[in-house]
Amino acid sequence: MNNVPHKVLLPAWIFEQAKDNDEIRRLVQDYMTRYPNYRIVKVSGSFAICDKLDGFL
């Protein structure tokens, strides 16, 4: 597994729509389903910091 973290820019509507941290977490998880090989490590600012599970890039 690659040890280099990947940053995924999250859309602004996630933070505008969410009422609390639990809802941000849920919306980020829903959004990240479009990146099936990424595992979310944390959310930092407007980015999801992820580990890539497989593949070369």
pLDDT digits (tens, 9 = 90+) for 3-41: 788 999 999 999 999 999 999 999 999 999 999 899 999
- Report if residue 41 sits inside a domain: yes
- Residue 1 within a domain: no
Angle at the Cα of 41 (from 48 to 46), degrees rounded to 5?
20
CB 37 within 8 A of CB 57: no
**Overall domain count for the chain:** 1
Domain that holds residue 17: 6-52
Q: Is residue 26 part of a domain?
A: yes
Residue 20: inside a domain: yes
Structure tokens at 19: 């009422």
What pLDDT does 4 receive? 82
Alpha helices in 1-57 (DSSP H): 12-17, 21-31
